[in-house]
Chain A
């Protein structure tokens, strides 16, 4: 789906066309999943984050003024939901005992293994930059972090990943 197509589908979805909305979200589903995993590193939490994001996007799509920025807008919503889940988990884990990793965490092991080798601060900027094609400036705005910090994080993350590849 190219930018012009995205724009059309966003506009259709803004007119409450459910099929267009579903198609749009399905198109970005794997990118959303990768983003959620980069933050949460857990299938069940990622599934919750994606579900919340789909519903929020449907509810709030009307507020998106520039359809061409749909992916940036959606990704920001997803990241916020991921951080909400981390906050909720922090409270929850204070009162609950350790849980066994679930069976579904066996998916995409290579990705998770590589992510695990990178400091968590670097994972998300690297995912957004190398996999999803966002510009560093866009990532900086999305994460409310100075541009130079993003550059540094991507550079350090790349070194960590290189070490992982050479091990």
Chain B
């Protein structure tokens, strides 16, 4: 046998020319930073504290009204609350309004569980509006070694009854919740706010299991067609095989098939607000927004669509909000989609979910990004 090493697992050394050129690139980016980003970074740090204070304020208000109506506490699952962060009071309010549903509170919750090969999967919490559905599933009976990333081999999500029909398609992202959440600056921290830690091998320590030893799988689904609605729809979710993920490859550990049909809540929490204001620095007018506690859709008109570059359509993107008390949430919006809504390219929309629940009544202005160069404008809204 040859003594030659396996080149695919062998560590490489970066040459001087590679280090020189890549460092040049990073320096160029840093220089751009000095020109464009200095003020923004300073503001970002100040916003952190203001935001925390404002959320606390909202909690007190809602708790005082809820305490009269209901004594039951509707706690969302651990993973759901990490995925779209909500205070206890916000969880109570949205669940009371049937915008969220906690399945483990249902009298027939045990009948919703599916067990295969000793692993039980059951729906835990669902939060829905017209455009987005956040769904969490608890997993009992499966354990992985520290330092490994658990996951399913395949996850299929569609709405309606015919998975082959185009109307069944949804945009979907899913992952096993690992106890790590974004803080107000978007940096990863553990769910109790403590900084991330690594093990002796330098691997990030994750917390996939809760105090009962269960895990939670989180799905964020959204409509493909901007005029579609998820309210009251039946969402089919199928999980196949459990195992671990490493370097993009899945290693199965337990074969199984867990299939669910979930009827989503049908209560609308979204409201349409007429804005009718130009987005400065662009040819777009923000005509209306459809805004809910968990997502937003901005509707634009434009006389002449700007020239696109690769997959940049030039459509402004709502990234955050300013609340009435002055609190800024500049990084509120999460994944979503955007595009022109007619063939003449005179109308466009941008849809996005949030990383935390907001009180729609408290929104005073939108923070809109208008270009790659990180140009931002604030557009006041009145309700």
List A residues at the B interface (Cβ < 8 Å).
1-5, 8, 11-12, 15-18, 21-22, 25, 29-30, 33-34, 43-44, 46-48, 50-51, 54-55, 58-60, 62-63, 65-68, 71, 102, 104, 107-108, 110-111, 114-115, 126-127, 130-135, 138, 164-167
List B residues at the A interface (Cβ < 8 Å).
1-2, 4-5, 7-18, 20-22, 24-26, 28-30, 33, 36-37, 40, 149, 173, 175, 178, 180, 182, 186-188, 204, 206, 245-249, 310-312, 319, 330-331, 334-337, 369, 372, 374
In the complex formed, the residue of A with least CB distance to B5 is A110
Q: Is the CB of B178 within 8 A of A4?
A: yes
Expressed in whole angstroms, the minimum distance between the Cβ of B156 and any Cβ of chain A is 16
Expressed in whole angstroms, the minimum distance between the Cβ of B309 and any Cβ of chain A is 8
Q: Is the CB of B18 within 8 A of A43?
A: yes
Most buried by A among B18, B26, B173: B18
Known A-B contacts A11-B182, A60-B310, A131-B8; A104 and B29 likewise in contact (beta carbons under 8 Å): no
Q: Is the CB of B29 within 8 A of A34?
A: no
Q: Is the CB of B18 within 8 A of A50?
A: yes
In the complex formed, the residue of A with least CB distance to B2 is A165
Expressed in whole angstroms, the minimum distance between the Cβ of B317 and any Cβ of chain A is 8
Known A-B contacts A5-B188, A59-B372, A126-B8; A167 and B2 likewise in contact (beta carbons under 8 Å): yes
In the complex formed, the residue of B with least CB distance to A73 is B311
Distance in angstroms between the alpha carbons of A58 and B18 in the assembled complex: 18
- Chain A residues contacting B12 (CB-CB under 8 Å) are 30, 33-34, 107-108, 111
Q: Is the CB of B14 within 8 A of A33?
A: yes
Distance in angstroms between the alpha carbons of A33 and B11 in the assembled complex: 11
Q: Can you give 23 contacting A-B residue pairs, CB < 8 Å? A: A3-B245, A12-B187, A15-B330, A16-B37, A22-B26, A44-B17, A46-B18, A47-B18, A47-B20, A51-B22, A51-B24, A54-B22, A59-B372, A60-B312, A60-B372, A65-B335, A66-B173, A66-B335, A68-B173, A71-B248, A111-B7, A111-B12, A134-B248
Distance in angstroms between the alpha carbons of A46 and B21 in the assembled complex: 10
In the complex formed, the residue of A with least CB distance to B28 is A55
Distance in angstroms between the alpha carbons of A135 and B33 in the assembled complex: 36
Distance in angstroms between the alpha carbons of A4 and B181 in the assembled complex: 9
- Chain A residues contacting B187 (CB-CB under 8 Å) are 8, 12
Q: Is the CB of A111 within 8 A of B175?
A: no
Most buried by A among B5, B15, B248: B15
Expressed in whole angstroms, the minimum distance between the Cβ of A48 and any Cβ of chain B is 7
Expressed in whole angstroms, the minimum distance between the Cβ of A68 and any Cβ of chain B is 7
Distance in angstroms between the alpha carbons of A17 and B330 in the assembled complex: 13
Q: Is the CB of A50 within 8 A of B22?
A: yes
- Chain B residues contacting A43 (CB-CB under 8 Å) are 15, 17-18
Known A-B contacts A50-B18, A108-B13; A133 and B7 likewise in contact (beta carbons under 8 Å): no
Q: Is the CB of A166 within 8 A of B29?
A: no
- Chain A residues contacting B319 (CB-CB under 8 Å) are 15
Q: Is the CB of A107 within 8 A of B13?
A: yes
Distance in angstroms between the alpha carbons of A63 and B175 in the assembled complex: 22
Distance in angstroms between the alpha carbons of A17 and B41 in the assembled complex: 8
Distance in angstroms between the alpha carbons of A133 and B244 in the assembled complex: 14
- Chain A residues contacting B18 (CB-CB under 8 Å) are 33, 43, 46-47, 50, 104
Expressed in whole angstroms, the minimum distance between the Cβ of A136 and any Cβ of chain B is 11
Known A-B contacts A21-B29, A22-B29; A133 and B247 likewise in contact (beta carbons under 8 Å): yes
In the complex formed, the residue of B with least CB distance to A43 is B15
- Which of B7, B15, B206 touches A115 (beta carbons < 8 Å)? B7
- Chain B residues contacting A127 (CB-CB under 8 Å) are 8
Q: Is the CB of A8 within 8 A of B10?
A: no
- Chain A residues contacting B36 (CB-CB under 8 Å) are 16
In the complex formed, the residue of A with least CB distance to B249 is A133
Extra 18 A-B pairs, beta carbons < 8 Å, given A11-B331, A15-B330, A55-B29: A12-B187, A15-B319, A17-B186, A18-B33, A18-B37, A25-B22, A33-B12, A43-B17, A44-B17, A47-B20, A54-B26, A54-B29, A60-B312, A65-B335, A104-B16, A104-B17, A104-B18, A131-B9
Q: Is the CB of B25 within 8 A of A51?
A: yes
Distance in angstroms between the alpha carbons of A104 and B311 in the assembled complex: 36
Q: Is the CB of B26 within 8 A of A132?
A: no
- Chain B residues contacting A130 (CB-CB under 8 Å) are 8
Q: Is the CB of A110 within 8 A of B7?
A: yes
Distance in angstroms between the alpha carbons of A29 and B173 in the assembled complex: 26
In the complex formed, the residue of A with least CB distance to B246 is A133
Distance in angstroms between the alpha carbons of A71 and B26 in the assembled complex: 18
- Chain B residues contacting A111 (CB-CB under 8 Å) are 7, 10, 12
Distance in angstroms between the alpha carbons of A149 and B248 in the assembled complex: 20
Q: Is the CB of B21 within 8 A of A47?
A: yes
Q: Is the CB of B204 within 8 A of A5?
A: yes
- Chain A residues contacting B182 (CB-CB under 8 Å) are 8, 11
